[in-house]
């Protein structure tokens, strides 16, 4: 018998920011950054598969166009990107994103993926408090402690991915399974099967991307010298962004 055709998952990438110049020149937008991540994840599968057989990607600039959101009936999942903005602010586009995310979660069919700011938006949409972390910045390649569920879902014993945040989700929303934690940020990853998966880190980031962001934030006065140097010491460390992307793919197709 022939194999049953499974159509690609229609994943809408909700772009919550514009990349810094070097990233923008190479990838265009954060939609392009995530396309590159998922291409590498698909290439790492055994056997490798083309991205187009797994995902049908679309990108939506939700910051500059309040009407950019796709009709939930035309998609299977959303991915909310990271952002330099704060998920607890009440700018119109952030409030609208929170409402749209809540609508997707409550509808039960459209699955939700979030990274960094997107992770925090999901927390906010589900009623958790989001705010600044009194422990300060978490930057560059960071090792996470995984829960048993996290080890199973990500397929590794310990997880290291890039970080770039000072805001956090303070507490787990009701019904969410915790996947990972660090000393600086206990709520690092959340999961509800067939509903949502989020990570506070940036699986999509590479060494070159993080170097540029760190340098821009240092020269812009956002990061102090000690914090900057600490991030630069770890920026080239091995990280598991592709493993996280494979977990996203499994989640989207389960």
| Contact predicate 138/109, CB 8 Å | no
Backbone phi, then psi, for 191, in 5-degree steps? -155, 140
E strand intervals along 183-226: 189-192, 196-199
* C-alpha–C-alpha distance, residues 40 and 130, integer Å: 32
> What secondary structure letter does DSSP report for 158?
S
Report the C-alpha gap between 80 and 100 in whole angstroms: 11
Residue 192 gets which letter from DSSP? E
Cα 30 from chain centroid (whole Å): 11
| Catalytic residue annotation | 116, 202, 204
Q: How far apart are the first and last CA of the chain?
A: 22
CA dist 169 and 129 (Å) reads 6
How far, in Å, CA of 139 to CA of 122, rounded?
21
Residue whose structure tokens are 């020269």:
219
**Pair of tokens at residue 158:** 């310990």
């Amino acid at each position: 018998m022939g194999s049953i055709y499974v159509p690609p998952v229609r994943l809408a990438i909700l772009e919550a920011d514009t990349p810094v110049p070097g990233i923008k020149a190479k990838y265009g937008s954060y939609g392009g950054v995530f396309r590159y991540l998922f291409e590498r994840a698909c290439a790492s599968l055994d056997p490798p598969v083309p991205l187009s057989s797994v995902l049908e990607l679309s990108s939506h600039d939700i910051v500059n166009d309040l009407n950019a959101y796709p009709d939930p009936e035309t998609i299977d999942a959303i991915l909310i990107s990271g952002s330099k903005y704060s998920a607890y602010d009440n700018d119109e586009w952030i409030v609208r994103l929170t409402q749209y995310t809540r609508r997707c979660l409550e509808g039960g069919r459209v699955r939700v993926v979030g990274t960094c700011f997107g992770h925090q938006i999901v927390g906010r949409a589900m009623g958790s408090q989001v705010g600044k972390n009194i422990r300060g910045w978490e930057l560059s390649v960071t090792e996470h402690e995984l829960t048993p569920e996290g080890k199973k879902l990500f397929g590794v014993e310990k997880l290291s991915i890039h970080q770039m945040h000072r805001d956090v989700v303070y507490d787990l929303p009701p019904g969410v399974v915790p996947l990972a934690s660090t000393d600086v940020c206990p709520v690092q990853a959340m999961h509800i099967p067939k509903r949502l998966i989020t990570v506070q880190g940036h699986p999509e980031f590479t060494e070159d991307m993080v170097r540029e962001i760190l340098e821009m934030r240092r020269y812009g006065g956002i990061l102090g010298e000690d914090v900057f140097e600490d991030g630069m010491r770890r920026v080239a460390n091995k990280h598991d962004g592709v493993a996280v992307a494979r977990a996203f793919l499994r989640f989207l197709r389960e």
